[in-house]
Amino acid sequence: MPFWSHKPRLHLSPSRHLAGLLLCLFLSPSLLAAELAEGLNLNGFYTLGAVYSDSSGASVATKADPRQVGQGELNLDSSLLGLQLDYAATDRLNFTLQAISSAQDDFDPRLEWAYLNYDLGNDYQLRAGEMKMSLLQGTELRYVGYSRLWARPLVTQSGASGFDDYTGFDLLKTTQLGDYNLTLQASYGRAEHHRDIVDNRDIKLLLGQIEKDGSWVKAALMHARYDVDTPTGRHLKDNATVYMASIETELWFNAWQINAGLAAGSADLAPDDQLAYLSLGYRFGDMTPYILGSRVRQRFDASEFRSLTPPPPPPMGPPPMGPPPAAPGLPDGTDTRDTLAIGLRYDLGSSYALKMQLEHWRSEQQSNPLSGPVKQQGNLFTLSIEGVF
């Protein structure tokens, strides 16, 4: 039965959601960024969005843990409002605070960025405070829908192996190489994981971006060390490591816009990730129709836990031939999710856009130890207004 014939079930918390949506509408697209006082500026971004799903298995996320969208559900959880306050204490020292308030959190605000930025001169910047990961998977602009062509973020759940935020230092340098602009970033700090059982020791990031006439290529590499406990407090592993790498590009050929990216991560006691996407859009005046394909793959290896679980008592008979079995009851195998979407971005004004996206997804889950391989598929329709001020 086609998805449009389902009668949608609405998921929202009426009073808080209504208040949040009214707030988004009140902050109309024509509201300009405000200079509140000398050196004090307020900017913001918002998404007023609805996602309809004709099956279960898809997710919507405006925080680290995504929420599954039910079959026939009309979900409004992707709506959010972000505010950023910048204070230029001097012409070199700047303070920034950014908070978001999302429908998924019942519009309870949370702090996303809080840092000092010091201009060292010669196009060097030093930042210190709480910042977001610059990797593709971390998607530092995940909540700023207006910044991207597509109606939904590429990664709906926490993508930098759960490390989206870190408290530490960034050193940034921009320079020109002929007609090309080069940006380099080195970051060091301690990251927050969205699971309490993971305690990060440190995180390091290196990033390089080269740009010319609006086309750019960006590559990033991240390494983190962490300790893992069980939910009951038993210590599982010290000094676990994760490596993640990504490369992304946006290329412009007249009105054609091509976006592509590849990312991979290898983590101890967590699935190894791979992500690839390719998008093609064409700008007709204020409208940009596009097509987007992506694949996300997670490989679970239960044998990583073999050395961590207590050995079974010795058997009565001779020892079994072959390798010992993987730890029972833990995910083991590869999960894959493919999506193909067509959509349209319509710039209604200079600072807000209407987006529509129809997405078909297919997933194959091989890692579930209880059910065996599971295949699912479905369709999502997204309609949103996104803007900045």
Which parts of this chain interact with other proteins (CB under 8 A)? Answer: 35, 43, 45, 82, 84, 86, 91, 96, 98, 113, 115, 117, 119, 121-123, 125, 127, 131-132, 134, 140-141, 144, 146-147, 172, 174-176, 179, 181, 183, 211, 213-214, 286, 347, 349-351, 353, 388
| Closest CB to other proteins among residues 174, 334 | 174
Residue 15 to residue 29: CA distance in whole angstroms: 24
DSSP states of 256-307: EEEEEEEEEEEETTS-EEEEEEEEEEE-BTTEEEEEEEEEEEEEE-GGGGGG
Q: Which residue has the tokens 């079995």?
A: 325
Phi, psi of 25 (to 5 degrees): -70, -35
| Closest CB to other proteins among residues 63, 132 | 132
| Closest CB to other proteins among residues 117, 279 | 117
Cβ within 8 Å of residue 167, ≥6 positions away: 129, 130, 131, 189, 190, 191, 192
| Closest CB to other proteins among residues 187, 365 | 187
The encoded tokens of residue 135 equal: 């990797």
Residue 388 to residue 88: CA distance in whole angstroms: 21
| Closest CB to other proteins among residues 177, 316 | 177
Cβ 277 to other proteins shortest distance, Å: 18
| Closest CB to other proteins among residues 181, 249 | 181
Cβ 120 to other proteins shortest distance, Å: 11
Cβ 333 to other proteins shortest distance, Å: 36
Cβ 96 to other proteins shortest distance, Å: 6
Residue 335 to residue 106: CA distance in whole angstroms: 31
- Amino acid of residue 330: L
Computed from CA positions of residues 120, 192, 77, 107, in that sequence, does the dihedral angle turn out positive or negative? Answer: negative
Is the separation of the CB atoms in 194 and 172 below 8 Å?
no
Cβ 140 to other proteins shortest distance, Å: 5
SS3 145: helix
Cβ 266 to other proteins shortest distance, Å: 26
Cβ within 8 Å of residue 39, ≥6 positions away: 87, 88, 89
Cβ 297 to other proteins shortest distance, Å: 27
| Closest CB to other proteins among residues 305, 346 | 346
